[in-house]
Amino acid sequence: MRWLKNLFFSTLKILSAVILTPLACGLSAALYISVAQYFNITTLLPFLLGFGLYLLIYAILQQPIRTYIFTHELVHVIWVLIFGGKVKDFRMGKRGGSVKVSKTNFIIELAPYLFPLYCIISILVYFMAGLFIDVKPYWKVMSFVVGFFWAFHFTITAYVLTKEQTDFRGPGVVLSLVIVYIFNVIILALIICFLSDSVSFKTYAVNSIDKALICYKALYSTCYKIWMESIKWLENIKQCFWLAG
């Protein structure tokens, strides 16, 4: 019966991925519309320059694997602590790392692919510094740094997704990829809205809902047509057997 249980959960994970796919499409379409309509090159130029600088460094030096490994395992640790778990062991080597924890869930397993740690730290440092000094003159510097670290998160995540990841065993590969994509689109939208004075997250959210609903309607229509065609096909088979009998 174990194979039946595995089949059930595997099917459930794939169905969940299919259900979330229209949401991913809606979020992506809304992000494109928001950037295309309200894009302000002056505001986002430091972010783009930081992004481009990291891509240049990556093209020359390739991925900083050891830095990523440390960041990857550290994010696991942070989310284990957030969920009230305990870290039993933390190891890091040249080619990989591992963390032994007292509890886990799909958020903890996927956290390194979902949350750009250095981007979040950069923004938090900026706001914390604002409690003591006037940080407005350093806005472009912060935007540049966020763009640099977003490029780090983006490229290294894209790179490791091409490799076999044990973190995906729980949620499943297909569902994990969809969740990672959705989270990264939302976080990128948040960053752009945060850095730009012309892009509103409220507008982005409304556009996301509208586009997602269109995608869900299309999915429903397609599934309904497939279902009706399947019924007709089964009826034809039934009549063939009836006539043969």
Whether the per-residue pLDDT at 52 is higher than 80: the answer is yes
Q: Is the pLDDT of residue 232 over 90?
A: no
Better-scored residue on pLDDT, 153 or 172 = 153
Please report the sign of the dihedral spanned by the C-alpha atoms of residue 68, residue 25, residue 167, residue 62.
negative
Distance CA 73, CA 19 (A): 30
At 105-133, the pLDDT tens digits run 888 888 888 889 999 999 999 989 988 88
The pLDDT of residue 196 is above 70: yes
Return mean pLDDT, the chain: 82
Predicted pLDDT at 214: 92
Instruction: In whole angstroms, give the CA distance from residue 192 to residue 38.
Output: 11
Q: What is the pLDDT of residue 107?
A: 85
The answer to whether residue 242 scores a pLDDT higher than 70 is no
Measure the CA–CA gap between 116 and 150, rounded to whole angstroms.
Answer: 7
Q: Per residue in 154-183, pLDDT tens?
A: 888 887 777 766 777 777 788 888 999 999
- Reported as a pLDDT band with limits 50, 70 and 90, residue 95 is low
Q: Report phi then psi at 91, rounded to 5.
A: -130, 145
Nearest residue to 216 (alpha-carbon basis) of 31, 8, 29, 9? 29
